[in-house]
Amino acid sequence: MGKKKSKIAMDLQAALEKDPAARNKFEIFFTYGGFKALYRHRFAHWFYNHGMKYLAKLISSGTRRKTGIDIHPAAKIAGGVFIDHGVGVVIGETVEIGTNVLIYQGVTLGGTGKDTGKRHPTIEDNVMISAGAKVLGPIVVGHDSKIGAGSVVLKDVPPHSTVVGVPGRVVKYNNMRVDDIDQKLPDPILEEFARLNKRIAALEEALALKSCKYSITMQNPEVDKDGATSIEEEIIDLKHEIDANKQKLHNSEEDTINRDK
Ligand SMILES: CC(C)(COP(=O)(O)OP(=O)(O)OC[C@H]1O[C@@H](n2cnc3c(N)ncnc32)[C@H](O)[C@@H]1OP(=O)(O)O)[C@@H](O)C(=O)NCCC(=O)NCCS
C-alpha cells in the first residue's frame, strides 16, 4: 500500500494541475499566495483543535495580512484544494471543503447572518468556485459542480451542476442545459402589460380598428414580416382610421335622420 500523501503535498499537486501557468512545485511553494494561505491554515487549524485558539487566530490574521485571504482557523479543508490568485477570499468558521476544489479570487464562503451553529456552506469534492462568487448560508454545493463568476448562491446546488447569476440558478445539469421555463419567476409588470394589451385589443375590436402592430406580450397577426413601418406611421394610420370611422358614424346618423323625415 502506498504512503498517504500529506494535505500540503496534495495542495501543491492541485496547484500544479489546475494552474496552466504553474511551472513547478518549488515556485508554487515560495510564490503562490493561495498555497501559502492554505499551508498556514493547516497549522492554524491544528492549534485551534488542540485548544490553542489564540495562537490559531494569530496565525490566521497574519495570513490575511500577508495574502489578503481570510480563513477562519476552524474551517475544515481537505487536501488538494487550490486558491488561485486568492486576494479577497473569505472562508468562514463552519465551512467544510472537500478535495480537488478550485477557488478563485474574491470568493466568499460565508453566512447570511440568519443562521446560528453551522451557518456556512459545505463544498463537496471537485467543485470550482469562480471569481467573485458568494456562497452563503449552511447550504451544500454538490460534487463536480461549477459556480459562475459573480454569482450569489443561497440554495443547495445538486451535484454535476453549473450555477450562475444573482441569485444563483442552475443553468446546466449533467452537462445539459436546464430549461429556463421551470425556474421562471413571475414578472408583475409584464403581466400588467399583458392585461392592458388584452383590454386594448378588445376595445380596438369593438371600435373596428386595426390592432396594434407592436407588442412585447402578445402574438399579433398584423405584424408585417420586415417590420418596416415605424410606430409614427402606425399612429398616423390609426388617426386616419378613427377619422374614417367617425365619418361613417356621422353619415349613418344623417341617413337615419333623413329616413325619419
Ligand atoms: C460558469 C463557468 C465556469 C462556465 O461553466 P460551464 O458549465 O462551462 O457553463 P457554460 O459556459 O456552458 O455556460 C452556461 C450558461 O451560463 C451563462 N454563464 C456562464 N457564466 C456566467 C456568469 N458568470 N454569469 C452569468 N451567466 C453565465 C452562459 O452564458 C451560458 O448561458 P446560455 O446557455 O444562455 O448561453 C464560467 O462561465 C465562469 O464563470 N468562469 C469564470 C472562471 C473564473 O473565475 N476565472 C477567473 C480566472 S482569473
pLDDT tens for 136-168 read 999 999 999 999 999 999 999 999 999 999 999
What local confidence, expressed as pLDDT, does residue 224 receive? 47
CATH superfamily for 7-171 is Hexapeptide repeat proteins (2.160.10.10)
Q: How far is CA 66 from the centre of its chain?
A: 30
Give the pLDDT mean for 231-240.
Answer: 77
102 - beta bridge partners?
82, 128
What local confidence, expressed as pLDDT, does residue 181 receive? 45
Question: In one letter, which amino acid is 15?
Answer: A
Q: Ligand 1 centroid vs 148 CA: distance in angstroms?
A: 5
What are the grid coordinates assigned to 203, written together?
376595445
Closest residue to atom 2 of ligand 1, CA basis = 148
> To 10 degrees, what angle do helices 53-67 and 33-49 make?
170
Q: Ligand 1 centroid vs 130 CA: distance in angstroms?
A: 9
**Residue 115's pLDDT band (cuts 50, 70, 90):** confident
pLDDT tens for 38-97 read 999 999 999 999 999 999 999 999 999 999 999 999 999 999 999 999 899 999 999 999
Q: For the chain, what's the residue count?
A: 261
Q: Ligand 1 centroid vs 92 CA: distance in angstroms?
A: 25
Those residues whose C-beta lies under 8 Å from the C-beta of residue 184, and which sit 6 or more positions away, are none
**Are 57 and 40 in contact, with CB atoms under 8 Å apart?**
no
Beta-strand pair 161-164/169-173: antiparallel
Closest residue to atom 1 of ligand 1, CA basis = 148
Within 6 A (CB) of ligand 1 lie: 85, 104, 130-131, 146, 148-150, 162, 164-165, 171-172, 177
Q: Ligand 1 centroid vs 164 CA: distance in angstroms?
A: 7
State yes or no: pLDDT of 233 exceeds 90: no
**Are 114 and 136 in contact, with CB atoms under 8 Å apart?**
no
What local confidence, expressed as pLDDT, does residue 163 receive? 96
